[in-house]
Amino acid sequence: MNGTEVARTIREDVRPGVAAFAAAHGRSPGLHIVLVGDDPASHIYVRNKERAGTEAGLIVRVHRLPAEATVDQVLAQVQALNADPACDGILVQAPLPAGIGKHGTERVFDAIDPRKDVDGLHPHNVGLLVQGRAALKPCTPSGVIELLDRLGHPIAGKHAVVIGRSEIVGKPMALLLLQRDATVTICHSKTPDLKDTCRRADILVAAIGRPGFVTTDFVKPGAVVIDVGINRVDSRDAVVGFFGADHPRVADFDKKGSAVVGDVHPAVAQVASAMTPVPGGVGPLTIAMLLKNTLTAATARG
Ligand code: NAD
């Protein structure tokens, strides 16, 4: 399942809406990203979001704060963006530095104006999501739904199993699948009969954060497998174990010294009827849905 290609079509669908908004309002929709600290992966994600947003015609601004920023400083940044009429979407890049803490992180995310919450993580929007009437839905799981729809994989009546129960992926993924009339099972680190449960899935979504965790024995032949995981692997042996010694990904590892792999072992492709690759699967969809949410937020604010 080519997520890069589907993401491109979503971005193409967004572009005319952005142009129409700009023509009507004399300004382009504004996406503002708050980036706190030095996490290298976060910097790469933000750069990709900035590039994709700019290409789609959005005004994208990145507000950088140092790793030692206090909760109050991050809150002040969010409040300034809430008050800025040219800001339509606010994204606070997760994770915030350890010093901000769990409680501080919650305070920051709760401070975002729900109408500008393009990540769909504010409790107000999560409540609407539970009731099936959210306009701004979390980007990664809504990207997965778009992927299934656009590639013609039916959801209604299917048994979907989601591994992972995070606020950002697992829980909203399960809710969105339920809203589309799947029968949904949520698995997590304390699920005792994980493999047996996964083997009953018509649609299996892995959002765990463990390289290659889902092996062929988790998968019913013919299932659709969605790999949300993004894991950096520094061991050559692990990469060889994943792909085989002669695979181009091993040569790529030798150049870069690391590889990015999913939560699903590549051998699962032989059992599944369809499967998302990593990279090039769910990741690009997350960014495309962020752009879509920004346009939705801008249009709703008028
Ligand atoms: P998280 O750490 O918050 O949650 C992981 C979940 O996996 C937990 O709910 C936990 O219960 C479950 N889990 C952990 N070990 C398990 C085990 N042994 N058996 C069963 N369940 C287990 O992570 P997250 O934020 O949900 O992210 C999950 C993965 O998805 C990560 O690799 C992350 O990098 C990736 N991710 C990708 C995108 C994207 O755009 N593709 C977006 C967000 C997250």
Counting the structural domains of the chain, the total is 2
Amino acid at 231: N
Find the domain containing 263 and state its range. 139-283
Pick the catalytic residue from 117, 119, 202, 263.
119
The pLDDT of residue 302 is: 77
Is 74 contained in some domain? yes
Is 103 contained in some domain? yes
CATH number for 221: 3.40.50.720
Same structural domain, 157 and 55:
no
Same structural domain, 269 and 181:
yes
The pLDDT of residue 107 is: 98
Distance from C-alpha of 171 to C-alpha of 192, rounded to nearest angstrom: 19
Residue 49 catalytic?
Answer: yes
Nearest alpha carbon, ligand 1 atom 22: 189
The DSSP H or E segment spanning 275 is: strand 274-275
Same structural domain, 107 and 166:
no
Question: What lines the ligand 1 site, CB under 6 Å?
Answer: 140, 163-166, 168-170, 187-189, 191, 194, 207-210, 228-231, 282-283, 286
Pick the catalytic residue from 93, 117, 158, 263.
93
Is 82 contained in some domain? yes
Same structural domain, 165 and 245:
yes
Which residue of 46, 230, 282, 287 sits with most ligand 1 atoms within 8 Å of its CB, as the best mutation to test the pocket?
Answer: 230
Is 289 contained in some domain? no
**CA distances in angstroms from 273 to 125, 143, 203, 248, listed in the order given:** 34, 19, 10, 23
Q: In the chain, which stretches have pLDDT less than 70?
A: none
Is 37 contained in some domain? yes
Cα(281) to centroid(ligand 1), Å: 16
Is 19 contained in some domain? no
Is 294 contained in some domain? no
List of E strands, 98-242: 159-163, 183-187, 203-206, 224-227, 231-233
The pLDDT of residue 37 is: 97
Residue 227 catalytic?
Answer: no
Is 65 contained in some domain? yes
Same structural domain, 108 and 152:
no
Pick the catalytic residue from 49, 158, 171, 292.
49
Atom of ligand 1 nearest to the CA of 209: 32
**Cβ count near 19 (within 10 Å):** 13
Cα(83) to centroid(ligand 1), Å: 33
Cα(28) to centroid(ligand 1), Å: 34
